[in-house]
C-alpha cells in the first residue's frame, strides 16, 4: 500500500490538531491564526474545532504577546505562537532571547519554558528586505533555545509535535516554498527527535549539508550531479540547535568533501558553523576546502530581476559540488520558455504571497 501523503502545510496542521486534542494546556495564537486563510492553511478550522479560547488571534503586539505566551507557559500552558513572517518576530527578540531562552538557566534549572514559536520565511514574488529574512543563525547562536527547520512533511509534523512536547523554547522556522510540497506522513502521534540530522540521500563523493528548503534544492542538485557521475550525500540538518555534530562529521569522514547550503546569509550563518565544525572536527578527513552556498550578502531585493542572483538555487549547489570535487563550474543555460520564473517555486505558485 502506498503511504499516505500530505502537503507540508497539512502536516503542520495535523501536528497542531493532534497536539491540541491530546493536551488541554496547548494553545495556538498569532495574527490571523483563526482567520479564513489560516496561516497558509496550517491553522485552518482549528478555532472552529477547539474553540476561540485555544486557537486565537491577537493584537499586533509581537513583543508583548511573546511575553504573554511565556508567562502563560510559566503558569502551566504550552503556547504555540505563530508569525506569518520571521521578520515580524524580530520585534520579539527580547522576550524570546532575554526571557524564554534564559529562564531555565538563570533560575538554576527550576522551570523550563515550553513555548513554540513558528516563524515563516518568505521568498520571491517581491518578498523584499523586510519579508524574506531567514535568521536561524541568530537563534542558533543562543543557548537555551532549540531551533528546528524541517524540510519534509514528515519532519514538519514529527518535529512540531516534539517541539510542543519539549520543555524548552523551540523556534520553528518554516520556509514558505515548502508549504506545497507533498510527502509521506504517518497518521497519528509521533515525534521526530530534536537535534538529529538525517542522511536523506547517501553518496560517496561529497557531503551536502543543507537545511529547510535548501534540502529540497540539494536533493535536486544531487540528482543533477549524479547525472554527471558525482554521488553527493545529502544531510538534512532538520535542527540547527542543538546541532547533530556526529552525523555531519560521520558523513564527511566518508566523503571527505563538504558543501554547506543554507537559506540565510553567509556571515556568521549556519553555513559558517557547519564549515567551522568540519574544519575543527573532520580536518584529516577533508580533501578539499569546504564551500558555502547562501543568500547573496545583501538585503532581499523585491524585483524578480535580481532574485536569480540573490537566492541560492539548484545550479549554485551543483557548481559548489563540482568545485569541491575539483571540477570546473558549468555555465547555466539561459532561462527558457516554460521555466518557472526565478521568484516562484514552480509554475503553479501564484502571488501575492
Partner 1 sequence: MSSERLLRLYREMYLIRRTEEVIADLYKEQEMRCPVHLCIGQEASPVGVCQELEPADVAFSTHRSHGHYLAKGGSLLALMGELYGRQTGCSAGNGGSMHLIDRAAGFMGATPILGATMALATGAAFATSMRQETRVTVAFFGDAAIEEGVFYESANFAVLKRLPLVLVCENNGLSTCSPLSVRQPPTRTICDMARGLGMTAVSGDGNDVLAVSQLARQAIDIARGGGGPVLIELPTYRWREHCGPGFDFDLGYRHPDELAAWQERCPMQRLVRHMEKTGVADAAALKRCEAEVQQEIDAAVRFARESPYPDESLLLAHEYMP
Catalytic site residues? 62, 131
Backbone region of residue 121 per phi and psi (left: phi > 0; alpha: psi in -120 to 50; beta: other values):
beta
Residue 125's binding partner among partner 1, ligand TPP, a second copy, none (Cβ under 5 to 8 angstroms by kind) is partner 1
Q: Which stretch binds ligand TPP (CB under 6 A): 2-10, 37-45, 84-92, 284-292?
A: 84-92
Q: Which stretch binds a second copy (CB under 8 A): 71-79, 151-159, 267-275, 333-341?
A: 267-275
C-alpha distance across the termini of the chain, in Å: 36
196 is a site residue for partner 1 (CB under 8 A): no
Shortest CB 230 distance to partner 1, Å: 27
- Cell representation of residue 118: 513558528
169 is a site residue for a second copy (CB under 8 A): no
Shortest CB 50 distance to partner 1, Å: 12
Shortest CB 93 distance to ligand TPP, Å: 12
288 is a site residue for partner 1 (CB under 8 A): no
From candidates 1, 2, 59, 334, binder to partner 1 by CB under 8 A = 59
Smallest CA-to-CA distance from 252 within 269, 238, 235 is with 235
Query: Which positions from 56 through 75 interact with a second copy, judged by CB under 8 A?
Result: 63
Question: Is 8 in contact with 185 (CB distance < 8 Å)?
Answer: no
Stretch 37-56: interaction string toward partner 1, x if CB under 8 A: x---------------xx-x
Q: Can you list the alpha helix ranges (DSSP code H) found in the chain? A: 8-22, 38-41, 46-50, 62-74, 86-89, 93, 101-106, 136-140, 153-165, 213-227, 245-255, 270-281, 304-310, 314-324
Residue 67's binding partner among a second copy, partner 1, ligand TPP, none (Cβ under 5 to 8 angstroms by kind) is partner 1
228 is a site residue for partner 1 (CB under 8 A): no
Q: CA 332, CA 221: separation in Å to the nearest integer?
A: 13
- Residue 109 burial (CB count, 10 A): 8
Q: CA 218, CA 317: separation in Å to the nearest integer?
A: 7
Query: Which positions from 140 through 179 interact with partner 1, judged by CB under 8 A?
Result: 143-144, 146, 167-168
Q: CA 66, CA 68: separation in Å to the nearest integer?
A: 5
75 is a site residue for ligand TPP (CB under 6 A): no
Residue appearing with cell numbers 559558517: 272
What DSSP state is assigned to residue 300?
A: P
Q: Residue 25 or residue 63: which is nearer to ligand TPP going by CB?
A: 63
From candidates 5, 32, 189, 231, binder to partner 1 by CB under 8 A = 32
Q: CA 23, CA 194: separation in Å to the nearest integer?
A: 20
46 is a site residue for ligand TPP (CB under 6 A): no
Q: CA 242, CA 237: separation in Å to the nearest integer?
A: 10
- DSSP states of 126-150: T--TTS----HHHHHTSTT-EEE--
Residue 226's binding partner among a second copy, partner 1, ligand TPP, none (Cβ under 5 to 8 angstroms by kind) is none
Q: Which residues bind a second copy (CB under 8 A)?
A: 63, 87, 90-91, 93-94, 97-98, 101-102, 105-106, 128-130, 135, 137-138, 140-144, 241, 243, 264-265, 267-273, 275-276, 278-281, 283, 288-292, 297-299, 301-302
Q: Which residues bind ligand TPP (CB under 6 A)?
A: 31, 60, 62, 84, 88, 91
Amino acid at each position: 500500500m502506498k503511504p499516505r501523503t500530505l502537503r507540508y502545510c497539512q502536516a503542520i496542521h495535523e501536528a497542531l490538531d493532534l497536539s491540541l486534542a491530546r493536551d488541554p494546556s496547548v494553545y495556538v495564537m498569532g495574527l490571523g491564526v483563526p482567520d479564513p486563510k489560516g496561516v497558509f492553511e496550517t491553522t485552518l478550522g482549528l478555532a472552529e474545532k477547539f474553540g476561540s479560547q485555544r486557537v486565537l488571534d491577537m493584537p499586533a503586539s509581537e513583543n508583548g504577546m511573546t511575553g504573554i505566551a511565556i508567562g502563560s507557559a510559566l503558569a502551566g500552558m504550552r503556547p504555540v505562537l505563530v508569525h506569518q513572517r520571521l521578520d515580524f518576530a524580530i520585534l520579539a527578540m527580547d522576550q524570546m532571547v532575554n526571557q524564554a531562552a534564559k529562564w531555565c538557566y538563570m533560575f538554576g534549572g527550576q522551570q523550563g519554558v515550553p513555548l513554540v514559536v513558528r516563524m515563516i520565511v518568505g521568498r520571491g514574488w517581491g518578498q523584499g528586505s523586510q519579508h524574506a529574512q531567514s535568521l536561524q543563525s541568530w537563534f542558533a547562536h543562543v543557548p537555551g533555545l532549540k531551533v528546528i527547520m524541517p524540510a519534509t512533511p514528515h519532519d514538519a509534523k514529527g518535529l512540531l509535535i516534539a517541539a510542543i512536547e519539549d520543555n524548552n523554547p523551540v523556534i520553528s522556522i518554516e520556509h514558505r516554498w515548502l508549504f506545497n510540497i507533498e510527502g509521506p506522513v504517518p497518521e497519528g502521534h509521533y515525534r521526530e527527535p530534536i537535534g538529529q540530522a538525517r542522511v536523506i540521500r547517501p553518496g560517496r563523493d561529497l557531503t551536502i549539508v543543507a537545511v529547510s528548503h535548501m534540502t529540497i534544492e540539494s536533493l535536486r542538485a544531487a540528482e543533477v550531479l549524479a547525472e554527471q557521475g558525482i554521488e553527493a550525500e545529502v544531510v538534512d540538518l532538520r535542527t540547527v540547535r542543538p546541532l547533530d555534530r556526529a552525523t555531519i562529521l560521520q558523513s564527511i569522514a566518508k566523503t571527505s568533501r563538504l558543501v554547506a547550503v543554507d537559506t540565510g546569509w553567509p556571515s556568521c550563518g549556519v553555513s559558517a558553523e557547519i564549515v567551522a565544525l568540519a574544519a575543527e572536527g573532520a580536518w584529516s578527513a577533508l580533501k578539499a576546502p569546504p564551500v558555502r552556498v547562501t543568500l547573496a550578502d545583501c538585503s532581499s531585493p523585491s524585483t524578480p530581476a535580481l532574485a536569480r542572483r540573490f537566492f541560492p538555487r539548484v545550479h549554485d549547489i551543483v557548481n559548489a559540488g563540482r568545485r569541491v570535487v575539483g571540477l570546473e563550474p558549468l555555465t547555466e543555460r539561459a532561462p527558457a520558455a516554460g521555466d518557472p520564473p526565478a521568484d516562484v517555486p514552480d509554475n503553479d505558485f501564484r502571488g501575492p504571497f
